Structure formats: C-alpha cells, structure tokens
Amino acid sequence: MNKPLLRAVSSTPQPVVEPDEAQGLGASLRAMRKARGCSLSDASARLKYTVRQLDALENEQWQQLPKGVLLRGLVKNYGRFLETDVEALLVMLDNQVGTRSAASVSVPVPAASLSGADLPLHPEGGSRSWGWLLVIVVLLAVAGIYAVDRGWVPDSWLVFDWLKALKQ
C-alpha cells in the first residue's frame, strides 16, 4: 500500500541547486533549502539542530555558532540533508571562516630541534598508574594478612590451609 505512494513522491523531480561561492555559504544553503521547498523548522526537526543554529548558519553569524569540528559537522549534516556537494560546502566554509581541522594543518617538528625545556617531564604512557596499582594491591594484601592474624576473619572465609595456619 505504501509502495505506490513512495514511488509517486520519489518520482517528483527536485530542482538541483549547486553551491555558489559568489553568494557565500549561508546564502547558498538558504537557496538550496528553499529550492527543496523546506522551511527552517522542517530542516531543524530533521537534522536535530535548533532553528536558531540553522538561521545563524544561513545568515553567516559565526559568533553564534560552535567553532572548529562542530561547525564543520553542522555544515556536513546540512549539506547531506540538502543532497548537495558536501566537500564544496566545506571549502566555502574554510574560505569564509578558516575552520581547517588541526590534523590537516599540523607541521611535524624534528626531534633534534627540541630543547630540554620542550620535552615532557614524564614520558607518555601509563607507567605511573601501574605503580599505584601495585602499591594498592600490596597494601590490601598486608591488611588482609593482618586481619587474619588478629582473628578478625571468620574461619568459613579461610579457604586455604595456609591461611588457617596464619590464624593460629
């Protein structure tokens, strides 16, 4: 019963609007949304972003929007919703805001150029946490042996013969 309705809806051609760099990112997004016949509240309900966020994006009010990766994610999701070229939108965003991700901009620094002040005091890794774990285990073992020696532990808890010998 739903299949003929789905075919009828999917067979209606959607006007294709490509992002226009001359307009800017916000104006392009607004034009593509309107070409699809979608309101801001419809887009907001579908994308799970607030109407205020989408309106700020379309009006290019960057100070009201999140920065960096979150802004790129918003633009990507909006572009996917509008079924347009997401990469073109991200290029437009980078040209307007300069939100290039840190991973693509990072410059490797040779280790020989680092001085002693640039090196961390503790090497990376969890070696210190293992030390603390060992100290805690040893303290628990000593406390357990002390409790058995003092007779604070019931005989039914002592499952090993050598523990019963400690209690006597």
Separation of alpha carbons 125 and 121, rounded Å = 12
Same domain, 27 and 80: yes
- Is position 152 within any domain? yes
CB 70 within 8 A of CB 56: no
First to last CA, the chain: 82
Same domain, 77 and 143: no
Separation of alpha carbons 167 and 57, rounded Å = 73
- Is position 8 within any domain? no
Assigned token pair, 79: 């572009």
Same domain, 19 and 71: yes
- Is position 70 within any domain? yes
Residue with tokens 């070696």: 127
Same domain, 98 and 56: yes
- Is position 155 within any domain? yes
**pLDDT at position 26 over 80:** yes
- Is position 37 within any domain? yes
- Is position 43 within any domain? yes
Separation of alpha carbons 68 and 102, rounded Å = 9
- Is position 123 within any domain? no
pTM of the predicted protein model: 0.49
- Per-residue pLDDT of 123-167, as tens digits, reads 565 556 778 888 999 999 999 889 888 888 888 888 878 777 776
Same domain, 28 and 93: yes
For residues 83 and 164, the model is more confident at 83
Handedness of CA 33, 35, 39, 42 (dihedral sign): negative
- Structural element, H or E, at residue 79: helix 69-81
Which pLDDT belongs to residue 18?
Answer: 56
Q: How many domains does the chain have?
A: 2
Same domain, 18 and 62: yes
CATH code, domain with 56: 1.10.260.40
- Is position 113 within any domain? no
For residue 162, give its domain range: 129-167
Separation of alpha carbons 61 and 53, rounded Å = 9
Among residues 52, 85, 102, the one where a domain terminates is 102
Same domain, 23 and 88: yes
Across 9-18, average pLDDT: 50
